[in-house]
Amino acid sequence: MSKQEALQLDPLLRDKVRLLGNLLGHTIENQYGDEMLRRIEDIRKQAKKARAGDNAERDRLLALLKTMPDDALVPVVRGFNQFLNLANIAEQQHGASWRRQDFHQDEVEQMFNSLLDRLQASGVDGVELTHKVADTNIELVLTAHPTEITRRTLIQKYDLIASLLQQRDDLRDDHPSLPHIEQQLSSLVEEIWYTDEIRQVRPTAVDEAKWGFAVIENSLWQAVPDLLRNLDESLRERGAGALPLTAAPVRFSSWMGGDRDGNPNVTSVVTREVLHLARWMAADLFLRDVEELSMQLSMSAASAELKHYIGEETLEPYRRCLHSVRERLEDTKVWAAAMAKGQDSHCQPLLDEEELLQPLMLCYHSLVDCGQESVANGLLLDTLRRVACFGLTLLRLDVRQESTRHADVLQEICHFYGWGDYHSWDEEKKQTFLITELKSRRPLIPVSWQPSAEAQEVLDTMNVLATRAGDGVSCYIISMASEPSDVLAVALLLQACGVRDHLPIVPLFETLDDLKQSSPRMEKLWSLEWYRDYCQGAQQVMIGYSDSSKDAGQLAAVWAQYRAQESLSAVARDKGIRLRLFHGRGGSVGRGGGPAHRAILAQPPGSVANGLRVTEQGEMIRFKFGLPDVATRNLKVYVSAVLEANLLPPEAPGEEWREMMEQLAADGVKSYRAMVRDTADFVRYFRSATPEQELGKLALGSRPARRKSGGGIETLRAIPWIFAWTQMRLMLPAWLGSDEALGTAIAAGKLDELRSMYQGWPFFRTYIDMLEMVLSKADAEIAHYYEARLVEPELQPLGSQLRSRMATIRAHVLQIKEQQSLLQNNLALQQSMSVRNPYTDPLHYLQAELLYRERQDQDVISAEVEKALKVSMAGIAAGMRNTG
């Protein structure tokens, strides 16, 4: 098979992409005429020729773009942007469609079924196998990091397109409904085209939370019971028995409305509102289920237990039972809506999940007792499983705050009482003070004290957590935690504000130094008798991926994360602590992103023994969980990976491989920092060659792009740092430092050892494969063009050096993998990129031109240039997908 043949899409997917592309073309033609459509099509065809590597064809493409008049900029950029979005929808929907060519060889189904076979062969069978699946204990934490460019109104239209594409798949080619479906698709594409794809107003933290609720409503609400039904079927086929009715191997939490680290827009008022809005949304969704159940459960035969619960004779016992549930849910909506606005309500809301679960369970068991098991295992079982997964809080909210904010509150209290300078105390003195106060019966917070606005906000947040709304909070995360006193300080302030006992306090270790010191610091904390009683033998520790990578480079960061997990797990076992690691991963490789199954199996053996908690952020939430069928598949991947990691773990690496990784990491961080920190012109080059400064024009998320105004790379958040490099296709954060580290090892004759590590160590294999994936998306020609148009001549040698280093790391990856070309064994990604490149390439070249025009005369920037620049960023993000 030729490479061209190998890159051919599944004919049905190609048909979907062509259909949506044609509908978009007709819409553009209707608005702008045939000339504009021809211009866009000429650019696309020329980009495809240029992609083949012919410089003359590339020059013709650039000529087409450079001579484009301002009034054509926005239509052309929007055309390419929307095609990429439509191609993403088609690809996403097709990946879960039963009509695709490889459906009967579905890799997710094969993965799970093969795992169950291996588990049974190893002796995990019957009831034990069912219990192991039920106890998987996965928690996915949805976060609103600012890489999700697409507006919520457009996401809803994209979801409708996916639904219609699936209907089209389900019908025979001659079905009379097909023309109507295609007419609906045409209408939606037209609606999308005439909708502004760029937010004009930055979303609030409450808007972000509502977006998270929409993911539950539109996708996960259906995906969770579908997942459990699917798992049940696989278990029953092996005689293992179905999962318990309230099994919840996967649950969900959120940072949207709770993550206040560096985000002044997340306040106590916002957190209170989001907690109540989540309860409103949960009540609304359960109300829909209960109303449908009331229509369905019209039968009269019922168990004595259900009749006793109702307390009266009726011909429709199930409807009577559900009537009271419906009334309580309606009251809950009224109550939650009022409380979200800061108003009182005299309604009697459902606050205890058992009050919702009990009548539903009575109905279920009654139906089974009366021989109506198939009815019981329909919508009613789905609803029971939604209660187990989502509860009455829908998404449990994490609250996150930076450690110095708590220390500042204590500093002010100590100053008020004349106790001394808290900030100047050493760690031992702080611990002694904090433990004494935690044991004291005297109130900590003085009645007549007037705290600063910053201190008052910290306390106001904790006061919200002390209300019934606080039942919807899962944990309190401390970013930049460095010592046990950071955890004890939070415990003291929570106690002083009346927050419920034993709210989990989660230290977050982010930088390279903090990761290295994480286990000795936790050992000190777990050695404190007061804290051991507080945590009740269970602890979450969060491992940060973003800041460690930006601080030290990806190679050193992933090894530091691996070692931190190993040492934390060992110390926890020694101290008798049930440790649950919380992975702060992002969508991009530079922030720990990548295929979930591979990433989990790459963790140290035993590190997910007590379950897995992991962030899902930004645009990756939509790609992985935006459609019910796609979400079900991705949730099953998580279940498979955690089961395998716990029950069939890989062997730990030998000392020789560990020593090699230590050397690679040391060389990698030295090389990375020499460029990023010690090269005088690096920051100037970064800001000239990338659209980093212009990213602020996009109303992406509620959180500022910088922790502080001004400053260099250290003040920039990890997300825009990676986003900017991705826009110009150098992808630097993912590989810088690795090039010299691997090169030094290969030059020292260690290539065979590196190949052995790749073959035998899942951690190293995953790292190299992620490097390969990100390098396949990099493009030196495009990066060079940005430089040529935007960077001062005296800085351009630095760009030449970076591109040369990128070529070097590509060569090293191919040597280690023993391949002739990148993605040699990943045809799916090759196909995906081959579809996107003719659309992303023009956007890159146009973006460089637009940046050039804008920077030439910042006093007179045309509206067309400004709008086209913003849309180009959105389009490139759609084309690259894992951007932040």
Catalytic positions: 145, 550
Name which of 399, 406, 532, 536 is nearest 474 in CA terms.
399
Radius of gyration of the chain (CA): 28
Report how far residue 279's alpha carbon sits from residue 337's, in angstroms, rounded to the nearest whole number: 9
Dist CA 207 CA 187 (whole Å): 27
Calculate helix-pair angle for 484-496, 403-417, nearest 10 degrees: 60
Task: Find how far residue 605's CA is from the centre of its chain.
Answer: 24
**3-state secondary structure at position 488:** helix
Query: Would you list the DSSP string of 26-69?
Result: HHHHHHH-HHHHHHHHHHHHHHHHHHTT-HHHHHHHHHHHHT--
Give me the sign of the Cα torsion angle 402, 588, 695, 267: negative
Q: Which helix (H) or strand (E) holds 167?
A: helix 152-170
For Cα atoms 427, 433, 434, give the angle at the middle one, nearest 5 degrees: 85
Say if residues 732 and 690 touch (Cβ distance below 8 Å).
no
Question: Strand pairing of 473-479 and 138-143?
Answer: unpaired
CB 843 within 8 A of CB 879: yes
Element (H or E) spanning 477, and its range?
A: strand 473-479
Triad 88, 92, 95: Cα angle to 5°: 140
Given CA atoms 299, 300, 305, 308 in this order, what sign does their dihedral have?
positive
Handedness of CA 647, 651, 652, 653 (dihedral sign): negative
Q: What is the DSSP letter of 537?
A: T
Q: Assign residue 363 a region: left if phi > 0, alpha if psi is -120 to 50, beta otherwise?
A: alpha
Q: Which of 506, 438, 436, 520 is closest to 477 using CA atoms?
A: 506
Specify whether the CB–CB gap between 689 and 790 falls below 8 A. yes
Whether the Cβ atoms of residue 363 and residue 322 lie closer than 8 Å to each other: yes
Structure letter (DSSP) for residue 202? P
Three-class SS of residue 538? strand
Query: How far apart (Å, rounded) are the C-alpha atoms in residues 745 and 743?
Result: 5
Tell me if 371 sits within 8 A of 228, measured CB to CB.
no
493, 419 in Cβ contact below 8 A? no
CA distances from 838 to 41, 55, 58, 529 (A): 10, 15, 12, 63
Could you identify the residue written with the tokens 């935007």? 790
Sequence-ordered list of residues with C-beta below 8 angstroms from that of 464, at least 6 positions apart, any chain: 268, 271, 272, 275, 470
Distance CA 848, CA 784 (A): 10
- DSSP 8-state assignment for residue 259: B
